[in-house]
Amino acid sequence: MTTLTTEGPASLRPELREGAVWSTWRKIAFRFAFIYIILYTTPWALPTSGIPWLYNVTQFYDQGWSWLVTLFNTHFFTVADELVPVNGSGDTSFAWSQLWFMICFGIVATAIWSVLDRKRKNYEVMDYWLRICVRYYISFFCLSYGIIKLFAMQMIFPSLSQLATPLGRFPPDAFVVAVQSAIQRLYQVFSGAMETIAGLLLINRKTVTLGLIVASGVFMQVFVLNMSYDIPVKLFSASFTGVDSIPAFV
pLDDT in tens, 187-226: 888 888 999 999 999 998 889 889 888 988 888 888 888 8
Cα(111)–Cα(228) distance, rounded to whole angstroms? 37
Which region among 51-60, 124-133, 213-222 has the lowest average model confidence (pLDDT)? 51-60
**Spatial contact of 4 and 212, defined as CB atoms under 8 Å apart:** yes
CA dist., res. 232 & res. 176, Å (int): 12
**Cα distance from N-terminal residue to C-terminal residue, the chain:** 6
199 vs 140: CA distance, rounded Å: 7
For residues 148 and 155, give the distance between their C-alpha atoms in angstroms, rounded to a whole number: 9
> Contacts from 42-50 at CB under 8 Å and sequence distance 24+?
43/133, 43/136, 43/137, 46/137, 46/140
Query: Which residues, at least 6 apart from 69, have a Cβ–Cβ distance to it below 8 Å?
Result: 83, 94, 97, 98, 101
What single-letter DSSP state applies at residue 20? Answer: -
Say what the pLDDT of residue 89 is: 63
Residue 67 confidence (pLDDT) above 50: yes
Judge residue 43's burial from the number of C-beta atoms within 10 Å of its C-beta, 0-12 exposed, 13-18 middle, 19 or more buried. Answer: middle
Mean pLDDT in residue range 83-95: 76
DSSP 155: S
Asked if 35 and 138 touch (Cβ cutoff 8 Å), the reply is no
Q: What local confidence, expressed as pLDDT, does residue 200 receive?
A: 94
**Distance, CA of 247 to chain centre:** 12
Of 34-43, 96-105, 131-140, 151-160, least confident by mean pLDDT is 151-160
The mean pLDDT of 163-180, rounded to a whole number, is: 68
> Between the CA of residue 206 and those of 6, 14, 135, what are the distances in Å?
6, 20, 12
For residue 222, give Cα distances in angstroms to 89, 178, 218.
15, 16, 6
- Contact between 123 and 18 (Cβ < 8 Å): no
Query: Among 5-19, 82-96, 179-193, 233-247, which stretch is predicted with the lowest mean pLDDT?
Result: 5-19
